[in-house]
Amino acid sequence: MHPAGPDEVSAVLADAARRAAAYRRAAPDRPVAPGPAELAALTAFDTPLPQEPTSVASVLEQLDRVGSPATVVSNGGRYFGFVTGGTDLAAEAAAILAGAWDQNVALPVMSPVAAQLDAVAARWVCELLGLPAGATATFCGGASVANLSGILAGRDALLARLGWDVGEQGLWGAPLLRVVTGTEAHVSVHKALRLAGFGRRQVVEVETDEAGRVRADRMPALDERTLVVLQAGNVNTGASDPFDPVVGRAHDGGAWVHVDGAFGLWAAVSPRLRQQLAGVEGADSWATDAHKWLNVPYDAGIAICAREEDLRRVFAADAAYLVAGAVRAPMHLSVQMSQRARGIETWAALLANGRQGIEELVERCCALARQFADGLAAAQAEVLAPVVLNQVLVRFGDDATTDAVIAAVQAGGRCWAGGTTWQGRRAMRLSVCDVAITEADVDAAVAEILRCRRQVGRD
């Protein structure tokens, strides 16, 4: 491997920027998912590892020629799958420049600028989400890792209060804890619990209502050996658990409350929506994503703890060659040691949009979700849950027809929606999360979904 000369660096980076811009300009007109020819062409990548070098220009040319047409265009305004954010322009541009910087944010001494932007972005996120002064946010790979971080912080804090030091004594022989969560907890919560040493037998799943909210009246007694995991934004319906009644009771009993708010926590930025989260600020830890509703490029999760020492108890790791101290150092607050300076892109998105821009984005997505539901309901599709946020669940007659419509939409390439099973019935799932989506996009998607219903012949 040889260092590139300045002319080559300039030429290659200019070429990359030109190709990136061309891709983004064309995104709204591309098929939203690759067709058979584009997928078949991917075999061109499947070569033996070459012995000789390939020019960087040629690497980039191949990536664009074969790779770009095989992308799922999730930032062009017609993708409604999973909960997928689009691409905020400021965050994208910042990612390009920060990529050139190639900073490691583990310790401030490794990158003062990354440390500063990471700290500012973390503070802004907490303020924007209405979380308590003193809360500490830290960036990570996604809400799955953020859930793991909050659950580990809660586990070790509960054990510390019981006189057990996990760092010193480990987990074997520790006082038994249990977890209380709703039957609708996200799969990433169960994965995180497993990683944190909780098996299914230690998890009490509380009944949820027709919107997927945990039933506060069915909560068991919550004591100092209990880790409660609540949810802001059900992945199917968008509904949030009732925080007020549960958080108060949990804290009266000495329990820890973690909130999985991967996308739903962003409802806090809207005065019209924030009552859905009443009491969420009283929790002990929160997980969210910037790559979902904030439209920051992948990957950007955020773990937040009410008290920084609860993160430090789990993650601080000092060694002689590392600079220790009281300053904020992401490696002492998160799973990773070396890490990309993810906070830079979130900082850019927050600065470029301001409070007002984010509030508008969240409210516009919710209005577009209602437009989807109204448009489909007007054509006698069945909307399975009230649209309270940015998620829509819709069904076309029976399970088989619903699945056939989903398959036809996905094959058509004009828009993309996924499927799910909601309370025993198959449903199409539409998530409105991309800054690029317009009213015209939703009208076109409704028309396409109804065309597919006609095509499967059951209209």
Ligand X SMILES: Cc1ncc(COP(=O)(O)O)c(C=O)c1O
Q: In angstroms, what CA-CA distances link 297 with 12, 33, 66? A: 22, 19, 21
- Does the footprint of ligand X cover residue 186 (CB under 6 A)? yes
**Least Å distance between CB 144 and ligand X?**
3
What is the spatial distance between Cα 198 and Cα 177, in angstroms, rounded to a whole number?
8
- Does the footprint of ligand X cover residue 143 (CB under 6 A)? yes
What is the spatial distance between Cα 269 and Cα 317, in angstroms, rounded to a whole number?
35
- Does the footprint of ligand X cover residue 129 (CB under 6 A)? no
- Does the footprint of ligand X cover residue 432 (CB under 6 A)? no
What is the spatial distance between Cα 438 and Cα 416, in angstroms, rounded to a whole number?
15
Could you tell me how many residues of this chain bind ligand X (CB under 6 A)? 14
What is the spatial distance between Cα 332 and Cα 337, in angstroms, rounded to a whole number?
8
Q: Which residue is nearest to ligand X (CB)?
A: 142
What is the spatial distance between Cα 328 and Cα 432, in angstroms, rounded to a whole number?
35
* Stretch binding ligand X (CB under 6 A), from 24-32, 56-64, 94-102, 137-145: 137-145
**Least Å distance between CB 291 and ligand X?**
6
* Stretch binding ligand X (CB under 6 A), from 3-11, 88-96, 142-150, 238-246: 142-150
Q: Given the complex with ligand X, which of 263 and 372 has the nearer CB atom? A: 263
Q: Which amino acid would we find at residue 355?
A: R
Is the separation of the CB atoms in 253 and 73 below 8 Å?
no
**Least Å distance between CB 221 and ligand X?**
26
- Does the footprint of ligand X cover residue 258 (CB under 6 A)? no
* Stretch binding ligand X (CB under 6 A), from 47-55, 255-263, 265-273, 395-403: 255-263
What is the spatial distance between Cα 227 and Cα 250, in angstroms, rounded to a whole number?
9
**Least Å distance between CB 285 and ligand X?**
14
Is the separation of the CB atoms in 155 and 317 below 8 Å?
no
Q: Given the complex with ligand X, which of 158 and 303 has the nearer CB atom? A: 303
- Does the footprint of ligand X cover residue 301 (CB under 6 A)? yes
**Least Å distance between CB 116 and ligand X?**
25
At a CB cut-off of 8 Å and minimum separation 6, what does 320 contact?
A: none
Going by C-alpha positions, the residue among 114, 8, 165 that lies closest to residue 329 is 114
Asked whether the CA dihedral 137, 142, 146, 152 is positive or negative, the reply is negative
Q: Given the complex with ligand X, which of 237 and 371 has the nearer CB atom? A: 237
In 378-427, which residue ranges form alpha helices assigned H by DSSP?
399-412
Is the separation of the CB atoms in 404 and 457 below 8 Å?
no
State which of residues 34, 76, 233, 375 lies at the interface with ligand X (CB under 6 A): 233
Place of tokens 């200019």: 14
* Stretch binding ligand X (CB under 6 A), from 116-124, 157-165, 258-266, 276-284: 258-266
Is the separation of the CB atoms in 150 and 287 below 8 Å?
yes
State which of residues 88, 92, 118, 289 lies at the interface with ligand X (CB under 6 A): 289
* Stretch binding ligand X (CB under 6 A), from 153-161, 197-205, 257-265, 347-355: 257-265
What is the spatial distance between Cα 395 and Cα 126, in angstroms, rounded to a whole number?
37
State which of residues 188, 208, 285, 371 lies at the interface with ligand X (CB under 6 A): 188
* Stretch binding ligand X (CB under 6 A), from 141-149, 154-162, 239-247, 411-419: 141-149
Q: Given the complex with ligand X, which of 30 and 213 has the nearer CB atom? A: 213
- Does the footprint of ligand X cover residue 83 (CB under 6 A)? yes
- Does the footprint of ligand X cover residue 235 (CB under 6 A)? yes
- Does the footprint of ligand X cover residue 138 (CB under 6 A)? no
- Does the footprint of ligand X cover residue 419 (CB under 6 A)? no
Q: Which two tokens stand for residue 46?
A: 């499947």
Is the separation of the CB atoms in 416 and 261 below 8 Å?
no
Contact footprint for ligand X (CB under 6 A): 82-83, 142-144, 186, 188, 233, 235, 260, 262-263, 289, 301
